[in-house]
Chain A
Amino acid sequence: MSVALELAADIASGGSTAREAAESALDAIDAVEGRLHAFNLVTRETALRQADEVDRRRADGERLGPLAGVPIALKDNLCTRGIDTTCGSRILAGWRPPYDATVVERVRAAGLVVVGKTNMDEFAMGSTTESSVTGPSRNPYDPGRIPGGSSGGSAVAVAARAGPLALGSDTGGSIRQPAALCGVVGAKPTYGRVSRLGLVAYASSLDQIGPFGLDVADTAALLGVIAGHDPLDSTSIPEPLPDLREAVGAGVAGMRIGVPREFLGEGISPEVAHRVRAAADALAAAGATVLDVSVPAVSTALSAYYVLAPRRPPPTSRVSTGSAMGCGWTRPPRRRCTTGPGARVSATRSATASCWAPTRSPRAITTPTTAPHRRFGRW
């Protein structure tokens, strides 16, 4: 169901136009926005102008990319020149950045049409999209439940078919978790793969901008548009991008995929564990070799995150001691440490070595993304 790629192919072949695609997305936004509140701003006029420009470029014989003409929504912490960028906060109300984020330049150059700025937790600090000054976004599958966050509006926009693609940003799960809760595909790229220029920072050494889509092929195609070295972001990786379309097309046959057992232990809900096992089964059915692996360091991941990416209250400790923002597991019980640090770490090292020896190491791992949907409440 590569909605975006198929739409772009249809536009490229003259079956429809970027203008029609933009109008259709804007109508879809109008139809769902009152119920779901995915957007802080809908950029109707600039979208239609930009769509006309794409149609004109094509008519002039310009060769456009694989997603040209496709509508896209941008998280409201991505700088858009002359267009309000609020980060879900009143502090930035009325601010219009004097430049576009690199990813915004790239999506526009590739002929994607920006239809609006999506709702988010204030300054991306949260995992529910409840802390936005414009009010919460709602899960399209049940408006009484959270859509996840902080890129909740982007996930909702794609899930509600108010445009087939969106960009979000992910520091500690802010793309992956709302994507999971809204039933769409979301990816946090490797740090440095996508330029952060023009992303309003949360924790600069962890932030990455990444794509949302309705399937893996669409999402990979969008990553292909935004990724790559940017001389204006000194942390971006100066390496050519691998061919993501080829990688997606290659499938998983023969690939070694690990399922770290630490993610399926204490604190996980039965329904989430069930879905993870179902996913592992599906991968195995598609020809992957699914391995039970152990990654003991996972037990300190949450603590490491909270040391590295300090947050302000109130989401802080409520989240960290509760269901662990978007990770589906709880803070490790103290008793794991009672054997003393030496014993624990040597066990960690040997277990890690046996699982991750280069010749045997899995190419990828499959884990839960989040605890189940919860209803709205005080965050």
Chain B
Amino acid sequence: MSPRISRDDVVRVARLARLDLDDADLDRSARQLGDILDHAADMSLLDLDGVEPTAHPYPLVNVMRDDVVAPSLDRAEVLAAAPQTEADMFRVPPVKAEEP
């Protein structure tokens, strides 16, 4: 099998994805990611000149509607699913430190 993706590549991707992979994980991931790249390579061998991209089997275009108020989900019921709420909103952990 050609090493389409190196162990170093996997180390780098794992760091970016905040994944803690051990040596065995790294080797297995390199092999599996290589297999996926083989699939992509298979596709690239096809001559698709003149083949229209297919986003949907049915010729749908943008679906628009009038911007009018319609019945919606019950706010209390939706918020009941949240671990934390505040003032009728979802409360989530900060993703960025507050300004000094």
Residues on A close to B: CB < 8 A? 95-99, 190-192, 205, 231, 234-235, 237, 239, 300, 302-304, 306-307, 310, 313-314, 316-318, 320-321, 331-332, 337, 341-342, 344-346
Contacts and interface: CB of A to CB of B under 8 A. Distances in A.
Contact of B39 (A97, A190, A239, A303): A303
18 contacts: A98-B73, A98-B77, A98-B78, A98-B81, A99-B73, A192-B57, A205-B55, A234-B60, A239-B58, A313-B29, A316-B35, A317-B31, A317-B33, A320-B35, A331-B39, A332-B42, A337-B45, A345-B46
B29 to A, nearest CB: 7
A208 to B, nearest CB: 11
A345 B47 contact: yes
B39 A344 contact: no
By CB atoms of chain A within 10 A, which of B45, B56, B57, B74 has the most? B45
B32 A316 contact: yes
Contact of B60 (A235, A303, A314, A342): A235
Nearest to B25: A313
A341 B47 contact: yes
Contact of B46 (A231, A237, A300, A320): A300
B89 interface: no
Contact of B80 (A98, A99, A331, A345): A98
Interface of B: 28-29, 31-33, 35-36, 38-40, 42-43, 45-47, 55-58, 60, 63, 65, 73-74, 77-78, 80-81
Nearest to B65: A231
A271 to B, nearest CB: 27
Given A95-B81, A98-B81, A300-B42, A237 B74 contact: no
Given A96-B81, A98-B73, A304-B43, A191 B32 contact: no
A192 B36 contact: no
A307 B77 CA distance: 38
A341 B46 CA distance: 6
B42 A192 contact: no
B60 A307 contact: no
Nearest to B47: A345
B32 A313 contact: yes
Given A313-B32, A316-B32, 9 more contacts: A97-B81, A98-B80, A303-B43, A310-B36, A313-B29, A317-B36, A318-B32, A321-B35, A337-B42
Given A316-B36, A342-B47, A192 B56 contact: yes
Q: Nearest 3 CB-CB pairs, A to B?
A: A317-B32, A317-B35, A303-B42
Nearest to A97: B81
